[in-house]
Amino acid sequence: MTAVNEHYLKLQGSYLFSTIAKKVAAYKEAHPKEQVISLGIGDVSQPLVPAVVEALHRACDEMGKAETFRGYGPEQGYAFLREAILQGDYVSYGIELSADEIFVSDGAKSDVANFQELFSVSTKVALQDPVYPVYLDTNVMAGRTGTYQNGRYGNLIYLPCTAENNFAAALPKEHADVIYLCSPNNPTGTALTKAQLQRWVDYAREHNSIILYDSAYEAYITQEDVPHSIYEVPGAKQVAVEFRSFSKTAGFTGTRCAYTVVPKGVQVTSKEGTKISLQQLWLRRQTTKFNGVPYIVQRAAEAVYSPQGRTQTQAVIATYQQNAQVILSALRQAGITAYGGENAPYIWLKTPKGLDSWSFFDKLLNEGQVVGTPGVGFGACGEGYFRLTAFNTPELTRKAAERVAKLQF
């Protein structure tokens, strides 16, 4: 019989969302008249903006005419979108890159999951705890970790992010080859300032490490000293790869479009000591394994950078930012300490009275009919914390917030 990739057997079942679904279903069955509101979803509730929909329609019409029909496109993305990204997200922030360092894809999830295959299996990986689970699980699948014992995989460097360090991990004491950083962060909703990020870039330059920087929530940044791109930090173009997405920026969670920036200065080394450009390797990987994002979707993404597209998407983001403020103020009224929400659509609260994450989940569901996500589901350091998201509609968010404000502990 064909042998399995044993590393897959090390993976922990993703019980988090299935357990939540089971608990919610049981509650609804027992209380059919109650309206349960979810502040647990990581998906958006607002539709695509008109400028994007119009661009989609126009591109569909082009696809129906022989003169403008398009088949396979460039694997790395059409020049019109790469140029729009370059101008809109980098040149306008004073960052110099070239369009061939930008790779358009169908999602930050797939890119951040696939990127690790460019590194040796012996690569030492560091990641934040709590963490977006994709970074962790894809390294488990690739065989870079030991087995799972007492809540942790062997051979990984965990970077604890708790209230004690303001959710900004300390630099590892040991050597890390690859460091995953997510800022603004899912799940903690906090973001690294330019000075904090500079320390990571300096560490990476000193250690010849590579930073995989996920800034899927960049559009939610409000604070002046929080950079929108890691390339605002001097030296980052030698050590960092940046992942961005149209999912939470422009409601593309179902439409699928994202991009990854791989500067030509980022290098890895062969056994013989030859330096190899990561940009060339990623190009090779993408042209071999990926056939590009649909033309119509790339035209839709391009429309996000038009004057109307910008105004309209910013209005949607402002709606979610307002939701975050509504949630934060309700938590304050309930006497609960909460973090995040200022530069991200996530609020990370400290469970009161020493409740564990799941006990808080049960209380919120049973007494407030509100659903959120237990922090422990994102890693051992998430125990005693709880995530709420700002992605529901303003009406339901307000309703949920009123219930949260009345909770007694």
Q: Which residues bind ligand PLP (CB under 6 A)?
A: 42, 107-109, 112, 132, 182, 186, 214, 216, 245, 247, 253, 258
* Minimum CB distance to ligand PLP, residue 256 (Å): 7
Q: Which is nearer to ligand PLP, 132 or 305 (CB)?
A: 132
Q: Is 78 left (phi over 0), alpha (psi -120 to 50) or beta?
A: beta
The C-alpha atoms of residue 322 and residue 329 are separated, in whole angstroms, by: 11
Q: Which is nearer to ligand PLP, 169 or 334 (CB)?
A: 169
User: Could you count the other beta carbons within 10 Å of the beta carbon of residue 164?
Assistant: 7
Q: Which is nearer to ligand PLP, 256 or 350 (CB)?
A: 256
3-state secondary structure at position 37: strand
Q: Token pair of 198, please?
A: 């500079």
* Minimum CB distance to ligand PLP, residue 277 (Å): 25
* Minimum CB distance to ligand PLP, residue 39 (Å): 15
Q: Which is nearer to ligand PLP, 369 or 392 (CB)?
A: 392
Q: Are 25 and 313 spatial neighbours (Cβ–Cβ below 8 Å)? A: no
* Minimum CB distance to ligand PLP, residue 398 (Å): 24
Q: Which is nearer to ligand PLP, 39 or 334 (CB)?
A: 39
3-state secondary structure at position 119: coil
* Minimum CB distance to ligand PLP, residue 346 (Å): 9
Q: Is 253 left (phi over 0), alpha (psi -120 to 50) or beta?
A: alpha
Closest CA to 208 of 275, 301, 129, 304: 275
Q: What residue is closest to ligand PLP based on CB?
A: 107
Q: Which is nearer to ligand PLP, 42 or 235 (CB)?
A: 42
Question: Please, which contacts does 89-93 make with residues 24 or more away whose CB atoms are closer than 8 Å?
Answer: 89/228, 89/229, 89/244, 90/229, 90/231, 90/261, 93/228, 93/229, 93/232
* Minimum CB distance to ligand PLP, residue 401 (Å): 22
Phi then psi dihedrals of residue 121, to 5 deg: -65, -20
Phi then psi dihedrals of residue 356, to 5 deg: -80, 170
* Minimum CB distance to ligand PLP, residue 46 (Å): 15
Radius of gyration over every alpha carbon of the chain, rounded to an integer in angstroms: 22
* Minimum CB distance to ligand PLP, residue 77 (Å): 14
The C-alpha atoms of residue 300 and residue 322 are separated, in whole angstroms, by: 26
Q: Which is nearer to ligand PLP, 216 or 407 (CB)?
A: 216
Q: Which is nearer to ligand PLP, 132 or 368 (CB)?
A: 132
Q: Are 188 and 346 spatial neighbours (Cβ–Cβ below 8 Å)? A: yes
* Minimum CB distance to ligand PLP, residue 248 (Å): 7
323-356 burial, b for 16+ CB within 10 Å, e for fewer? bbebbbebbeebebebbbbbbbbbbbbbbbeebb
Q: Which is nearer to ligand PLP, 368 or 379 (CB)?
A: 379
For residue 243, count CB atoms less than 10 angstroms from its CB and return exposed for 0-12, middle for 13-18, buried for 19 or more: buried
